[in-house]
Amino acid sequence: MPKKYVIEQDRDNCIGCGACAAVCPDNWEMADDGLAKPLKTEISEAELECNKEAAEGCPVNVIHIYEVDESGNKKQII
């Protein structure tokens, strides 16, 4: 089974800077309320790099990515 990755965004603390949507437009867009939202919260390994860049570029660190194994155990990557 391929590895699965889950994205969590602490949206309450997003300041709408737009960095995530700029570096990873494949999965991040700015919503009508001015805050970012991910198009998908479950991503494949192939989609990881782009989303990691989004997380790394967020100035308030509200994007986190977890690796989920077959048993459902979550390990935080960023």
Binding site for ligand F3S (CB under 6 A): 9, 14-20, 36, 57-58, 60, 62-63
CB count in 10 Å sphere of residue 20: 27
- DSSP string for residues in 27-39: TEEE-TTS-EEES
Q: Between 16 and 25, whose beta carbon lies closer to ligand F3S?
A: 16
Q: Which residues are 67's β-sheet partners?
A: 5, 75
Shortest distance in whole angstroms from residue 42 CB to ligand F3S? 18
Q: Between 15 and 45, whose beta carbon lies closer to ligand F3S?
A: 15
Shortest distance in whole angstroms from residue 34 CB to ligand F3S? 9
CB count in 10 Å sphere of residue 73: 9
